[in-house]
Amino acid sequence: MHELPPKLDALDLADPRTFRAHDQYAIWRRLRAEAPVFWNAPRGDRPGFWALTKYDDIMAVYKDDDHFTSERGNVLTTLLAGGDSAAGRMLAVTDGKRHRDLRNVFLKAFSPRALSYVAERVRENARSRVRAGVELGACDFARDVAEKIPINTISDLLGVPEGDEHRDHLLDLTKTALSSDEADADDEDAAEASLMARNEILMYFDDLVVEHRRTPKDDVIGAMVASSIDGVPLSDDDIVFNCYSLIIGGDETSRLTMIGTVPAMVDHPDQWAAYKNGTVETKTAVEEILRWVSPAMHFGRRATKDVTVRGTKIAAGDIVTLWNSSANRDEDVFDGPERLDLARSPNRHATFGYGPHFCLGAYLGRTEVGAMLEALREYVGEMHVTAEPELVHSNLLSGISSLQVKLLPA
């Protein structure tokens, strides 16, 4: 890791290499202190954008769908490209009444009651994967233990057929669509590969929707197929975009959080001991792991009107990015934010966003992290990280793609 550049202007938060070259938390500390409303200057043809790093400012923008829209993209990739082709159709990039109506289509399918079957499968899956990891002794926690849990969960939810053939294929595609495990991959090659992966995911769901129309099923695709908004049934494209959003939104974020649990515990043996001996409950531990790992570093919006944030004028049309990973370490909000405290309460982290677009899968994400924690507590005595972790290469996601560990039985 290199020292931060003396001039903050040299920082480029859109470049994934920034997060490999520097400790991201050092960046956030410095920006919160010196430039909480930071202008990330344009680079070449690419436009500049604002980066907010204070918790209160971030939450205020998440909540404010009067001055800010998601319909022109909600992550740097689409915001910088000028928009998202699924705007107005995919939940995360739809605003206003259409967003509320679409969200209502999902809310029933995502209620804790409706998810009880999926949640039970998550717990079984986590137990059997962790048990297998302990039997292996030495393993890659990312690939051998955590990898298949979230993809199976979302596949159960959406009605993707059982078995590795379909689900492994989708897993490969989702891994390529948002981030790259290869730090040295040429930027253009990586962009091309991720575009192809995104298209393949859409094509896969095209076929699945056709099948669901032929034979109605009791799953989330089934719920979408049976829904209408203002009397108009959802089109195949609408459904496919939303399947894409669920698989992309729910797979990698949950996976990275589960993987991040291990180094968090290994680096804080007192916290692991407190969790193991029951001093700390799973409920608070889950929230702290979510705060600590912050797998989705940023989301973003475009300003629709001139607006002032912390005394700085943001013009209509400007891109504004919201860095959750900084909000979660804001010293004005969290007591000792750089300390992992599994009993932390209250813990109003920004990991799932806030306001109208608050994560639809938050209950499921929490269930997955809780299932992993409980499986580790049940089956693992000691954990050792045996090689330098490999990190994902992204300006959106933060976490580990490969983690060599030794798991000793409880």
Q: How far is the CB of 362 from ligand HEM (least distance, A)?
A: 7
Rounded-to-integer distance, Cα 191 and Cα 207, Å:
25
Binding to ligand HEM by residue 352, rule CB under 6 A? yes
Binding to ligand HEM by residue 74, rule CB under 6 A? yes
Rounded-to-integer distance, Cα 88 and Cα 3, Å:
42
Close Cβ partners of 325 (under 8 Å, ≥ 6 residues apart) = 24, 25, 28, 294, 297, 298, 398
Sign of torsion, CA 231 233 245 158?
Answer: positive
Q: Interacting stretch for ligand HEM, rule CB under 6 A, among 8-16, 207-215, 359-367, 376-384?
A: 359-367
Out of 125, 257, 325, 398, name the contact with ligand HEM by CB under 6 A: 257
Spatial contact of 134 and 380, defined as CB atoms under 8 Å apart = yes
Measured from the CB atom, the residue of 125 and 134 that comes closer to ligand HEM is: 125
Out of 80, 149, 360, 375, name the contact with ligand HEM by CB under 6 A: 360
Q: Interacting stretch for ligand HEM, rule CB under 6 A, among 174-182, 207-215, 341-349, 352-360?
A: 352-360
Spatial contact of 258 and 372, defined as CB atoms under 8 Å apart = yes
Structural tokens at position 269: 């043996």
Rounded-to-integer distance, Cα 171 and Cα 204, Å:
12
Close Cβ partners of 198 (under 8 Å, ≥ 6 residues apart) = 173, 177, 244
Sign of torsion, CA 264 399 160 136?
Answer: negative
Binding to ligand HEM by residue 91, rule CB under 6 A? yes
Q: What x/- string results for residues 96 through 125 when contact with ligand HEM is judged by CB under 6 A?
A: -------x----------------------
Q: Interacting stretch for ligand HEM, rule CB under 6 A, among 14-22, 276-284, 304-312, 357-365?
A: 357-365
Binding to ligand HEM by residue 261, rule CB under 6 A? no
Measured from the CB atom, the residue of 254 and 271 that comes closer to ligand HEM is: 254
Residue 369: strand pairing partners: none
Total residues in contact with ligand HEM, by rule CB under 6 A:
26
Q: How far is the CB of 375 from ligand HEM (least distance, A)?
A: 17
Binding to ligand HEM by residue 370, rule CB under 6 A? no
Q: How far is the CB of 105 from ligand HEM (least distance, A)?
A: 11
Q: How far is the CB of 19 from ligand HEM (least distance, A)?
A: 16
Out of 16, 73, 263, 295, name the contact with ligand HEM by CB under 6 A: 295
Out of 4, 109, 296, 376, name the contact with ligand HEM by CB under 6 A: 296
Measured from the CB atom, the residue of 140 and 252 that comes closer to ligand HEM is: 252
Measured from the CB atom, the residue of 245 and 282 that comes closer to ligand HEM is: 245
Measured from the CB atom, the residue of 180 and 325 that comes closer to ligand HEM is: 325
Binding to ligand HEM by residue 60, rule CB under 6 A? no
Sign of torsion, CA 223 229 231 237?
Answer: negative
3-state secondary structure of 243: helix
Question: What is the maximum span of the chain, computed from C-alpha positions, in angstroms?
Answer: 62
Spatial contact of 215 and 122, defined as CB atoms under 8 Å apart = no
Q: Interacting stretch for ligand HEM, rule CB under 6 A, among 114-122, 171-179, 181-189, 350-358?
A: 350-358
Phi-psi category of 292—alpha, beta or left, where left has phi over 0 and alpha has psi -120 to 50?
A: alpha
Q: What x/- string results for residues 317 through 346 when contact with ligand HEM is judged by CB under 6 A?
A: ------------------------------
Cα 12–chain centre separation: 21
Spatial contact of 325 and 35, defined as CB atoms under 8 Å apart = no
Cα 364–chain centre separation: 12
Q: How far is the CB of 409 from ligand HEM (least distance, A)?
A: 28
Spatial contact of 27 and 40, defined as CB atoms under 8 Å apart = no
CA distances from 145 to 123, 149, 204, 256, 371 (A): 13, 8, 26, 12, 12
Residue with smallest beta-carbon separation from ligand HEM: 361
Binding to ligand HEM by residue 392, rule CB under 6 A? no
Out of 4, 122, 154, 171, name the contact with ligand HEM by CB under 6 A: 154
Q: Which strand (E) or helix (H) includes residue 51?
A: strand 49-52
Q: Interacting stretch for ligand HEM, rule CB under 6 A, among 22-30, 169-177, 197-205, 351-359?
A: 351-359
Rounded-to-integer distance, Cα 264 and Cα 376, Å:
13
By CB under 6 A, name the binding residues for ligand HEM.
Answer: 62, 70, 74, 91-92, 103, 154, 245-246, 249-250, 253-254, 257, 295-296, 299, 351-353, 357, 359-361, 364-365
